[in-house]
Amino acid sequence: MFNALSKFGYRQIPSWAHPSHPIMRTVLGRSNRLKWSRRIFLWLILLLVTTAAIAAGYIIAGTTTENTEPTISEILYWPLVGAQTLAMILAIAMTTNAVNIERQKQTWDSLKLSLAGVGLTLRARWAAVFYRLSWLLFVITIGRLVYIGILLDDMTEFQGRALDLRISGITPSVSLDLTVIIISLHMTAFVIQPFVAVALAAAAGLVVSVFMRGRGVMILGLGLLIALRLLITVGSILLGNSVLENIGLGVKPELAEIANENTVDAWYRLILSSAEGDQMLKILNLDTLGQIWADIDYGIYLGAIMLIVVLVEAILANMLVIFAAWRASKPTND
């Protein structure tokens, strides 16, 4: 069953990203499959780390919650934000030295001589990030699916009419059918966002690897990129906190005030904090969504806009990889 699913999954990806592709095999460096004992050991470690992260999340949520006991969403929030940030930093670290590694292995020059060697190698290094971080992406996806489960459960309130109540009186008035479609788009953006964020971080690392030569410069570039990434994440979380309450408690009154004065400002805070600061974890619950829809005119379309933003990020990641491959394959003086 698992093998059949794996085979089906592999059929969906391009041949150069398949683990059996010669270049990908070289990049992954796994000529032999892992022994079962080692695999079980790694899964146990993952289970242990996940449990510790959830315990830490419980302690943090206990200090911030307004309920008698923290909710599941509150408990998972900081572990998921941490896991997502870690995934992006690891993705950057894994690709920033891509060219340097080939140079150290003294294969770079021969790759440049071949027709598509550089492009394929860089693409393979980019795709390898997903294989190497599959454990982390797996955990993040499970965590996000829990949020989706909670959202669906909330929708069954009032005998399944919870959405009817939330769209009452909003501008513009929309049908329930359209609301369901938009929620579906939002959920899709929510699930694929971690993958796209990793893809973008890895692609940025790849671009840096092409431009940075020498170990010292490369480490400097890596440090700068990680610092920039952390700055964007922290800034986006703070931006989100300016208009969002704790999970499940809706939005702050400031959102309506900001939206009244300058709608663009309100949109910018919601979109940037969602896209770069994981604030979709706070937004994708029915109470918060309902208040956003009411506070901002056309706020109902946030879900569709978030999917567009995530897809644009994915396209950007793809373009960065193509650019890095093109730049790396150009003849140089050395």
Partner 1 sequence: MWFLSKLTTSVLLFNAILLGGVFTYRNITPPYLEQTLVIDKACGMECWFGFIANGQTVRKDIRTAIEEAGAQPINTRGTNMRFIQYKNTSNQTLGTISVELENGYGINVCFFPTPSTVTIGDVYATFGAPDSFWVYYFRGRPNFEVLYEYDNAYVLARGDAKIDWFFSEKSQRVGFDLRINEICTLQESGLGDIRPLEYPSWRGFNVPILAYQADVYISDGLDPFSFQ
The residues that touch partner 1, with contacts defined as CB under 8 A, are 12-14, 17, 148, 152, 155-161, 164-166, 168-170, 180, 183-185, 187-188, 191-192, 195, 253, 256, 290-291, 293-295, 307, 311, 314-315, 318
Closest CA to 274 of 314, 232, 315: 232
Rank residues 49 and 322 by Cβ distance to partner 1 and give the closer one: 322
CB of 188 to partner 1, least distance (A): 5
Rank residues 256 and 272 by Cβ distance to partner 1 and give the closer one: 256
Rank residues 180 and 217 by Cβ distance to partner 1 and give the closer one: 180
Which residues on neighbouring strands pair with residue 95, listed in sequence order? none
CB of 161 to partner 1, least distance (A): 4
CB of 158 to partner 1, least distance (A): 4
Give the C-alpha separation, 41 to 51, whole Å.
15
CB of 292 to partner 1, least distance (A): 9
Give the C-alpha separation, 95 to 83, whole Å.
18
Rank residues 127 and 139 by Cβ distance to partner 1 and give the closer one: 127
Secondary structure of the chain as H, E, C letters: CHHHHHHHHHHHCCHHHCCCCHHHHHHHCCCCCCCHHHHHHHHHHHHHHHHHHHHHHHHHHHHHCCCCCCCHHHHHHHHHHHHHHHHHHHHHHHHHCHHHHHHHCCCHHHHHHCCCHHHHHHHHHHHHHHHHCHHHHHHHHHHHHHHHHHHHHHHCHHHHCHHHHHCCCCCCCCCHHHHHHHHHHHHHHHHHHHHHHHHHHHHHHHHHHHHCCCHHHHHHHHHHHHHHHHHHHHHHHHHHHCCECCCCCCECHHHHHHHHHCHHHHHHHHHHHHHHHCCHHHHCCHHHHHHHHHHCCCHHHHHHHHHHHHHHHHHHHHHHHHHHHHHHHCCCCC
Rank residues 29 and 160 by Cβ distance to partner 1 and give the closer one: 160
